[in-house]
A and B are shown apart, each in its own frame.
Chain A
Amino acid sequence: MTELYQSIDVLIFRRIKALRHSTDSALVQIGNATGKDTRDRRMETPDMRLSLEVTLVTRAEIDDFKAFLDTRCGRLVPFWLPAWDYELHSKSSMVYPSANLNFDRTEFVDAYLHSAALHHKRKFLWFWISDADHYADYISAAATVDADTEQVTMHTAVDYEYPLICFLNYCRLDADRIEIVYEGNDLARCVLPVKILQYDAIT
């Protein structure tokens, strides 16, 4: 997994912003003559998509980005994408190293425990302290501690407090045709449509 997300993390960390997060609930509303609607599931899990704008300001970044696109082959090859601004807030009372991490409650745990299908998309956390010091690990268990705290148990113990902990999404590009707009010789922008997938290699 490290190898998979290494290819994009630094590049997108520099100058990337999410333009849009959209969720399709995958429900079909069926109307009938009585006026009472029913809803039916089209998919087991909701469809989650992002639009990311990447700004590239050097020739090397443009080359790296095009190499990244080349590896993806459009919608074919998935990659890992940190959720950045959707980070989790650690409780200050934590003692490291520890495999059990306490976070401000986001009700993630409720969803994690509620639906086996849902947590397949949200089982990896990404720990970042600098471009040189970051890693990913998967959640092996989760529980609600109290009304303000939820706890996730990582597969391996976390050594010290990381300033950024966020979900790591398993994604693929959501289009086969990607457009790069060159504003100059070494300045380019690209909007990447991304779809979040589920990752089932580790259960």
Chain B
Amino acid sequence: MQVKESLAWLTDVHEAWTGEELRVKLRVEPRRYYEISFVLKRYDKAILDAALFANVLHETATVPDRLRWSLPIWCDMQKLGADLAAGVGTVSGIVTAGYDFRAGGLVALIKARASYEFNRFACLRPEDYELMTIDTFDANSITFTDTTTKDFNAGSLLLPVRVARLDSPVDIVDALGGAQSYDGTAAFQCEVAE
């Protein structure tokens, strides 16, 4: 799956006739955007439509926590080297440097399975994954605020998750066209909100 990450700073540049410049920093931290295209199959359109209708993808402030859009940072995905049993509060044998982990942030654990279609919008069922909150982390391990409730075998996926909101309207494009079609695609451009 191709993921585009954009980092947006803001600078005011005043150019003199001589070519000299005065540059002024207008934003302390860059805004982060991700652009991902998904394939929509079967009920994906209905799920997406419901989310768009409820407007939960466009804002975060007024949306209840259970409906907030958690965006997995797909380009920061890594595999677990060992089994992680239910009831465990720490995952080790991983790399955290350079990945988007932060104390208080979210992490997704996704069960190893060959048949995932990650380019599909609703590719995961609730029993496939678990969202955990990071308490602390060091170079090779993460301690969660709670313990896992599911078993994750070696090869399962671990990836940071950020709360995001859509940055622009989503167009659902039917692949075949006409009333009989059910496949389509949707491109998301979203901004990391917090």
Chain B contacts for A43, CB-based, 8 A: 15, 17-19
Query: Contact at B11–A182, with CB atoms within 8 Å?
Result: no
On whether the beta carbons of B23 and A181 are closer than 8 Å, the reply is no
> B147: CB under 8 A from chain A?
no
> Please, which residues of chain B bring their CB within 8 A of the CB of A200?
20
Q: Is A117 close to B, CB under 8 A? A: yes
Knowing A43-B17, A43-B19 touch, does A183 contact B2 (C-beta < 8 A)? yes
Alpha-carbon gap, A77 to B74, bound state (A) = 30
Question: How far, in whole Å, are A203 and B5 apart by their CA atoms in the complex?
Answer: 40
Contacts of A197 in B (CB 8 A): 19, 21
The contact sample of 28 A-B pairs, CB cut-off 8 A, is A43-B19, A44-B17, A59-B95, A66-B98, A70-B30, A73-B9, A74-B8, A74-B30, A75-B23, A121-B19, A176-B8, A177-B6, A177-B8, A177-B9, A179-B6, A180-B4, A180-B5, A181-B2, A181-B3, A182-B3, A182-B4, A183-B2, A185-B75, A185-B76, A188-B75, A197-B19, A198-B19, A198-B20
Q: How far is the CA of A27 from the CA of B118 in the complex (A)?
A: 51
Counting contact residues on chain B (CB < 8 A from A), the size range is 20 to 34
Residues 174-197 of A, flagged 1 when their CB comes within 8 A of B and 0 if not, give 001111111101001000000001
Q: Check if B75 sits within 8 Å of A177, measured CB to CB.
A: no
Given contacts A185-B75, A185-B77, A197-B19, contact A63 B13 (CB under 8 A): no
Q: Is A69 an interface residue (CB 8 A)?
A: yes
Q: How would residues 35 to 49 of chain A score, 1 for a CB under 8 Å from any chain B CB and 0 otherwise?
A: 000000001110000
Chain A proximity mask over B6-45: 1 for CB below 8 Å, otherwise 0: 1111110101011111010100001000000000000000
Q: How far is the CA of A55 from the CA of B54 in the complex (A)?
A: 40
Contact between A75 and B9 (Cβ–Cβ < 8 Å)? yes
A76-B9 in contact (CB<8A): yes
Partner of A178 from B7, B18, B98 at Cβ < 8 Å:
B7
Q: Is B136 an interface residue (CB 8 A)?
A: no
Interface residues of A in 94-134 (CB under 8 A from B): 117, 120-121
A73-B31 Cα distance, complex, nearest whole Å: 11
Q: Which residues of chain B have C-beta atoms less than 8 A from A66's C-beta?
A: 7, 98
Asked if B97 is an interface residue, CB under 8 A from chain A, the answer is yes
Q: Is A62 in contact with chain B by the CB < 8 A criterion? A: yes
Asked if B4 and A181 sit within 8 Å, CB to CB, the answer is yes
Q: How far is the CA of A58 from the CA of B7 in the complex (A)?
A: 20
